[in-house]
Amino acid sequence: MDYVEEQKGEIEALESIYYGDFEIISTTPYKFSIPIKTEDYDFDNDVGLGCDLVVTYTDKYPEEAPIVEIENTDNFDEDYIPELLSHLDVQIQENLGTVMVFTLVSSAQEWLHMKYENAQKEKEEKEARKLKEEEEAERKRFEGTRVTIETFLKWKQQFEQELGIDKKRELLEKEGRKLTGREQFMRDNTLNESDLKFLDSGDAVKVDESLFQDLDDLDLDDDEEDDEDFDPNNYNSDSS
């Protein structure tokens, strides 16, 4: 095989196919660049993927693999270059013995198109998930507690009980009488927890029993204790 003639013939074909985009970098050995990009590629608006496929012939190309490089990438993730080179290496091994640059360019363009479509699809799915999560959070914020038969009946019972106590309070206030301790307890069931919390806290008041040992020695007036009109607040020790 005349490697030089094979290479020259392919160069002429590539110049015709990629007229205006094909750029020869050197002729000894042949090294050239061909831009590849997705169909919707737009450099100014950061749409699509694009790069330059740089190929260098080896002495025995096409029976030997050419040297392929990726340059001037646009919108590439950092792992795209090694992935694309690995993809092209498979194509090179499958086409050894024949000129293959056109095949490599076509395969690279298909790879870019597939990669960009998958990236766009993943981006759209991510945005859709985020929007759904935000809508769900907003719905829960306004939804409050979901009403079921059980929660409604419990609320109804508590409401009617509190309503009855409140009405009784209003009637008693009109009559000039306050709720009894039992009625207040029924109205606010948290009252029965206060003493228990006080005891559990370990802060119970300690009583000095010695203060009450001499109570029997006090001279109390039985008449004053039995007097229904006796008011200890108005009691004057001097009057005794």
- Same domain, yes or no: 85 and 155: no
Strand partners, 53: 34, 70
Do 14 and 53 lie in a common domain? yes
Quote the number of domains for the chain.
Answer: 2
Domain membership flag for residue 227: no
At a CB cut-off of 8 Å and minimum separation 6, what does 137 contact? none
Residues 55 and 110 placed together within one structural domain of the fold: yes
Where residue 31 sits, what CATH number does that domain have? 3.10.110.10
User: Average pLDDT in the 65-89 region?
Assistant: 94
* pLDDT band with cut points at 50, 70 and 90 for residue 103: very high
Same domain flag for 109 and 66: yes
Tens-digit pLDDT profile for residues 10-68: 999 999 999 999 999 999 899 999 999 988 777 667 788 999 999 999 999 999 999 99
My answer on whether 115 and 159 are in the same domain is no
Q: Quick one: average pLDDT of 98-127?
A: 91
Q: Tell whether 222 is covered by a domain.
A: no
Q: What is the pLDDT of residues 190-225, one digit of tens each?
A: 545 555 454 455 554 555 555 555 555 555 555 444
Do 73 and 162 share a structural domain?
A: no
- 37 within some domain: yes
Do residues 109 and 34 share a domain? Answer: yes
3-state SS record for the chain: CCHHHHHHHHHHHHHHHCCCCCEEEEECCEEEEEEEECCCCECCCCECCEEEEEEECCCCCCCCCCEEEEEEEECCCCCHHHHHHHHHHHHHHHCCCCCCHHHHHHHHHHHHHHHHHHHHHHHHHHHHHHHHHHHHHHHHHHHCCCCCHHHHHHHHHHHHHHHHHHHHHHHHHHHCCCCCHHHHHHHCCCHHHHHHHHHHCCCCCCCCHHHHCCHHHCCCCHHHHHCCCCCHHHCCHHHC
The verdict on residue 168 lying in a domain is: yes
Sorting pLDDT into bands at 50, 70 and 90, what band is 239? very low
Instruction: Based on the fold, state whether residues 33 and 72 are members of the same structural domain.
Output: yes
Residues 6+ apart with CB under 8 A from 116: 38, 48, 49, 75
Q: Is position 210 within any domain? A: no
**With bands split at pLDDT 50, 70 and 90, how would you rate the model's confidence at 230?**
low
**Banded pLDDT at 159 (limits 50, 70, 90):** confident
Pairing of strands 23-27, 67-74: unpaired
The answer to the question of residue 74 being in a domain is: yes
Within this chain, do residues 106 and 156 fall inside the same structural domain, yes or no? no
User: Whole-number mean pLDDT of the chain?
Assistant: 78
Determine contact, residues 105/53, Cβ cutoff 8 Å: yes
pLDDT in the model for residue 236: 52
Binned at pLDDT 50, 70 and 90, residue 148 comes out as confident
Q: Does residue 21 lie in a domain region? A: yes
| Lowest pLDDT segment from 12-21, 127-136, 162-171, 218-227 | 218-227
Are residues 96 and 28 both part of a single domain? yes
Q: In which domain, by residue range, is 172 found? A: 145-200
Q: Is residue 127 a part of any domain in this protein?
A: no
Q: What is the pLDDT of residue 60?
A: 95
Residues 103 and 60 in one domain: yes
pLDDT confidence of residue 166:
62
Least confident of 94-98, 130-134, 140-144: 140-144
The whole-number pLDDT of residue 46 equals: 72
